[in-house]
Amino acid sequence: MPEEVVAEVLNPEQEEELSEALGAGILIQESITETAELELFAGFTSSLGKGESACLAMAQQRGWLVASDEGGAFRREAEARLGIGRIINTPGLFLMAIRAGILSVEQADEAKEILERQRFRMRFRSFRELTGGS
Amino acid sequence: MAIDQQELGRRLREARDACGLTQEEVAEDLGVSRATVAQIELGNRSVSGLELSKLAYLYARDIQDFVAPNFGEDDVVHALFRSGAEAGGDGVKLALRDCIALGRELSKLEDLLKISRSASTVASYPFPLPKSKWEAIQNGAQVAIEERRRLGLGSAPVGDPVGLLEGQGVRTGIVLMLSEVSGLMISHPKVGLFIVVNSDHGPVRQRFSWCHEYCHVLLDRGSRGLVSRVSERDDLREVRGNSFAANFLMPEDGLRQFIGSLGKGATSRIHAEVFDESGVVPVDSRTEPGTQEIQLYDVVQVAHFLGVSVLSGLYRLLNLKLITEPEFSRMKELDQEGTSLRLAKLLALPPVERVDHAAEFSRRFLGLALEALRRELISRSKFVELAQQVGASQEDAVELIASAGLDAAELCRRKW
């Protein structure tokens, strides 16, 4: 997670959860270090937020995936820079975790319910539908 | 090819020097040690995106300047910074930073939305720099009359100077500065035309300052930037600005009409000769002694009507020879003793309201940002950052997006 994204998390509850995840090594904080990344970052900030710009600059330069639920300008820029295959969203992350055996379908569905209570709707009832019933 | 770390360090040092900032000051703002700033400038330590964003703001530069193939000094910004530093005012520097950052973002929004800045309707008067104070006063008065005519103001009072400026594409801001600084004007290719006045001053003085700086926009924008200070009131451009502001806010026709409506201002003796094709009939008229003498309570009403201070009104009446020197001195003394305030209260004249100038700028800024978001030219996150730059909270910005019907709460429309 780029430090620019970490700086955008201002909600105290989310800040604490993020801090715990970083502390436990579940997430790793990364910084832009190369000037080539800085150049990309600076260019993206004209139309994207600093966190988004950092994500895209790092992903493009390091060949990484970008995890984001944003549509619009960010999605378009990310697709143009990285290609559709290197952008993953929240349901996609869960699906990846299920397929890797890190999460069970039940655990993912539980998380889905929590997200939906916070206005993140997903147009399927269960992750089972996406895993082909596995 | 990207520039290397040493070159980036060199550019950062150059920008810092140009702004007259020390490594200690930068370190404090950045929340790092002075040694870290020194290492960055030597190219021995990398700079993160967040740090570069902060440094660009601190040096009033565009972040892209630091990584572009070529890097040059921004003459306008640095001349203003030096000027601000001479005034000893962090407020001026802060005002410059905020205005330049906002102006740049607004220009970028206009570029994204393909809004031509040539659509700005603000006029330009090709007067050379006056050679004497008298010439400066004449220039200011002449341009004020021309400008009132161009704007169709007639002899009416200037309602809201901020709206008048913003309506012509001049950006406006209000920032706390040293008391001796009344305002500043920026004319920058990437920032646009920007006027800032001192938030510490009262609304009447601010009205005068808006008009004074407006004169700099009309006549001195070739200078790219000017800081107006009390200590420089003898500077010919400042004299011209003050003359413009007085004439613009207090047009002779409007002032005479108002004084006339109070039954004052007529000459004590009128002589006319009426010719009727066969002969001349002389007509003489004399006003009652003492009936035309303008009193402080008249000036209080004039000042309120035109939205100026009583002292400004007194000077204008003196210059128009509607009052004599002794009358001026007597009323000035009474004004300084607080009599004007008491009279205004007794006459139930409401105080001149402080114009919510920030709202004027923010409205246009946020309106363009929303349009850019709707057209998917900027992301939601960028919109939130822009809204925060004009003082909105993150929650307000999110609510604004939702209210505009631009909220994509649904996650799962895309493939993964």
Q: What is the pLDDT of residues B120-162, one digit of tens each?
A: 688 989 889 999 999 999 999 999 999 999 999 999 999 889 8
Per-residue pLDDT reduced to its tens digit, B316-348: 999 999 999 999 999 999 999 999 999 999 999
Of A10, A31, A50, the CB nearest to B53: A50
Q: Residue B60 has what pLDDT?
A: 87
Tokens standing for B269?
């003796």
Q: How much is the mean pLDDT over chain B?
A: 86
Q: What is the DSSP letter of B410?
A: B
Q: Residue B76 has what pLDDT?
A: 67
Which residues of B are less than 8 Å from A121 in CB distance? 409-412
Q: Which residue of A has its CA nearest to B382?
A: A49
Judged by phi (left if over 0) then psi (alpha if -120 to 50, else beta), residue A59 lies in: alpha
d(Cα B71, Cα B7) in Å, to the nearest integer?
10
Nearest to A53 by CA among A25, A28, A26, A81: A81
d(Cα B108, Cα A46) in Å, to the nearest integer?
7
Of A49, A76, A119, the CB nearest to B385: A49
Q: Residue B358 has what pLDDT?
A: 63
Which residues of B are less than 8 Å from A41 in CB distance? 49, 52
Q: What SS3 string covers chain A?
A: CEHHHHCCCCCHHHHHHHHHHHHCCCCCCECCCCHHHHHHHHHHCCCCCHHHHHHHHHHHHHCCCEECCCCHHHHHHHHHHHCHHHEECHHHHHHHHHHCCCCCHHHHHHHHHHHHHCCCECCCCCHHHCCCCC
Separation of CA B96 from chain center: 12
| C-beta of residue B324 within 8 angstroms of C-beta of residue B130 | no
CA dihedral B22, B25, B31, B36 (to 10 degrees): 20
Decide if pLDDT at B277 tops 90.
no
The shortest C-alpha distance from B11 to chain A (Å) reads 13
d(Cα A8, Cα B380) in Å, to the nearest integer?
13
3-class state of residue B389 by DSSP? helix
Neighbours of B31 (CB within 10 A): 9
Interface test with B, best of A35, A88, A125, A130 (most B CBs within 10 A): A35
H-helix segments, B151-295:
161-166, 203-219, 236-249, 252-261
Neighbours of A27 (CB within 10 A): 15
Does A76 contact B413 at a Cβ distance shorter than 8 Å?
A: no
Per-residue pLDDT reduced to its tens digit, B369-378: 999 999 999 9
Does B409 contact A43 at a Cβ distance shorter than 8 Å?
A: no
| C-beta of residue A55 within 8 angstroms of C-beta of residue A37 | no
Does B412 contact A91 at a Cβ distance shorter than 8 Å?
A: yes
d(Cα B386, Cα B262) in Å, to the nearest integer?
50
Using only the alpha carbons of chain A, give its radius of gyration: 16
Decide if pLDDT at B86 tops 70.
no
CA dihedral B1, B7, B13, B14 (to 10 degrees): -70
Does A122 contact B411 at a Cβ distance shorter than 8 Å?
A: yes
B376, burial (CB in 10 Å: exposed 0-12, middle 13-18, buried 19+): middle
Which residues of A are less than 8 Å from B369 in CB distance? none
ipTM of this complex: 0.89
Does A39 contact B409 at a Cβ distance shorter than 8 Å?
A: no
Per-residue pLDDT reduced to its tens digit, B228-272: 888 888 899 999 999 999 999 999 999 999 999 988 876 666 667
d(Cα A36, Cα B46) in Å, to the nearest integer?
11
Nearest to A59 by CA among A47, B410, A80: A80
Give the pairing of strands B171-175 and A87-88: unpaired
The strands making up B171-175's β-sheet, listed across from edge to edge, are: B171-175, B192-198, B181-188, B225-229
Interface test with A, best of B40, B382, B401, B413 (most A CBs within 10 A): B382
The shortest C-alpha distance from B146 to chain A (Å) reads 40
Least confident stretch, B36-45, B69-78, B397-406: B69-78
Tokens standing for A28?
């790793």
pTM of the model: 0.77
The shortest C-alpha distance from B14 to chain A (Å) reads 18
Stretches where chain A sits below pLDDT 70 are 133-134
Considering Cα of B264, then B267, then B269, then B270, what sign does the dihedral take?
negative
Q: Residue A78 has what pLDDT?
A: 96
Does B49 contact A4 at a Cβ distance shorter than 8 Å?
A: yes
d(Cα B16, Cα A11) in Å, to the nearest integer?
34
Q: Phi and psi at residue B297, in whole multiples of 5°?
A: -65, -25
| C-beta of residue B171 within 8 angstroms of C-beta of residue B361 | yes
- The helices-and-strands tally (H runs, E runs) of chain B is 18, 6
d(Cα B291, Cα B16) in Å, to the nearest integer?
65
H-helix segments, B5-48:
5-19, 23-30, 34-42
Using only the alpha carbons of chain B, give its radius of gyration: 27
d(Cα B364, Cα B349) in Å, to the nearest integer?
32
Q: Residue A67 has what pLDDT?
A: 93
Which residues of B are less than 8 Å from A109 in CB distance? none
| C-beta of residue B379 within 8 angstroms of C-beta of residue A73 | yes
Decide if pLDDT at B179 tops 60.
yes
Rounded to whole angstroms, what are the CA distances from B171 to A64, B104, B384? 42, 11, 21
